[in-house]
Amino acid sequence: ARAGCSVCFRRNVCSSPSRLQSMSAWVIDQYGTNGVLRYTEEMTVPTVNFANEVMIKVNAASLNPLDVSMRGGYGAKMLKLRRDPLSVMDSGSEFPLILGRDVSGVVVDCGSEVTHFNPGDEVWAAVPPWKQGSLAEFVTLTEYEVSHKPKLLSHIEAASIPYVANTALSALVNAGGLCRDSTSNKRVLITGGSGGVGTFAIQLLKAWGAHVTVTCSQNAEGLVRGLGADEVVDYAAGDAAEQLEMMDKFDVVLDNVGGDTEQWVMGLLKPWSGAKYVTLVTPLLFNTDSMGLLDGMFHAGFTLHNKAIQNVISSGVFYRWGFYAPDGPALDEICKLVDEGKILPVVEAQFPFTQVPQAFQKLEQGHARGKTVIKVA
């Protein structure tokens, strides 16, 4: 790394983006419905403040269900704690808050200890929910959270992948116990296979050699089969559970739907064989929002513990919660699969930066078939 400024840790002390005072962004100043989204050109530029940070000029961002939920205040208590554990922030407020979890863009500045990136590099990343998001001209992340973007993808295509990739990888590897070398011929069921996480997880699991069964609406069958799904069950047909019961049992279930699903899906797992149920739909943040941090975490931990014990005692099946985790090196691995043509971006809709509220409306309507992306620059 080149020598940097010992005061501010920036490597390119006089680079022009760092001298910019303000940038354009979509922000919220309070939680609520779509009306709280506000466009501004007066947002403070997130310059490099630590030696391990990378400042990115955003070309494209994408939306996830979490953005709609966070706009309404979901997770506010837990995320506030994560942003400011010692409550030392001047304002004590998270506002103005920038949403947007995925970014594809170009590095414009690096801290003095950054070793893997240089200004001018094209990168992609999933922005942790406790950081200012990517619906802005610039975003600043730690080096660990960033990865070089696949060369074959446009920024729009690249922005559709990082958050669902980091989520699916964390859920399947950390909670589901799968990895590239241990997944061959494993039978995996993905519920909600037509959405952002599902369309990515199908492709990842096929690249790892799994046999993949998917539940989705009938009109998504062509999409998920095109991505490699071996068996597809229409959950709206009324007999999804019956159809799935007639199949061989599964080694892993990745549940993107939650609710009642976990009750009928547990019986589809191979008993006493280390099979795992992993759900992405967990009550943790709902609990901390409604009960407060301590009670909410205690209640969530109690629920998880009880369900895990019940399932392991009754059928030898592991019950787990999956979570997004920031992980640039994991995106490096995904980049290789994209370069090999094993993972394709699934961009359902694209909006210009002027139409961020319309993109939120699209997401709120549900029935996603892949991802909704925003062209920022």
Residue placing its CB nearer to ligand NDP in the complex, 107 or 347: 347
Minimum gap (Å) between residue 214 Cβ and ligand NDP: 8
Backbone angles phi, psi at 10, to 5 degrees: -80, 140
Q: How far apart are CA 230 and CA 212, in angstroms?
A: 5
In 3-state terms the chain splits into helix, strand, coil percentages (rounded to 5) of: 35, 25, 40
Closest chain position to ligand NDP (CB) = 195
**H runs (alpha helix) in 90-246:** 155-158, 162-169, 196-207, 221-226, 240-245
Which of 114, 188, 331, 368 is the binder for ligand NDP (CB under 6 A)? Answer: 368
Q: How many CB atoms lie within 10 A of CB 158?
A: 30
Contacts with ligand NDP by CB under 6 A: the residue count is: 27
- Measured between alpha carbons, how far is 359 from 345 in angstroms, rounded to an integer? 18
Closest contact distance (angstroms) between CB of 260 and ligand NDP is 8
Give me the amino acid identity at 266.
M
Question: At residue 314, what is the residue type?
Answer: S
Site for ligand NDP in 82-141 (CB under 6 A): none
Between 4 and 162, CB nearer to ligand NDP? 162
Question: Cβ closer to ligand NDP: 332 or 364?
Answer: 364
Report 188-217 residues binding ligand NDP (CB under 6 A).
191-192, 194-198, 215-217
Q: Cα angle vertex 98, ends 94, 103, to 5°?
A: 135
Query: Nearest distance from residue 42's CB to ligand NDP, in Å?
Result: 31
Q: Which of residues 218-247 bind ligand NDP (CB under 6 A)?
A: 235
Contact set for ligand NDP, span 51-80 (CB under 6 A): 64-66
* 367 touches ligand NDP (CB under 6 A): yes
Which distant-in-sequence residues (6+ apart) come within 8 Å of 239 by Cβ?
none
Element (H, E) at 277: strand 276-279
Q: Which helix (H) or strand (E) holds 225?
A: helix 221-226
One of 323, 357, 358, 362 touching ligand NDP (CB under 6 A): 323
- What is the pattern of x (binds ligand NDP, CB under 6 A) and - over residues 9-48? ----------------------------------------
Distance in Å, CB of 194 to ligand NDP, minimum:
4
Q: What angle do CA 275, 276, 278 make, to 5 degrees?
A: 165
Footprint of ligand NDP (CB under 6 A): 64-66, 164, 167, 191-192, 194-198, 215-217, 235, 256-257, 280-282, 322-324, 366-368
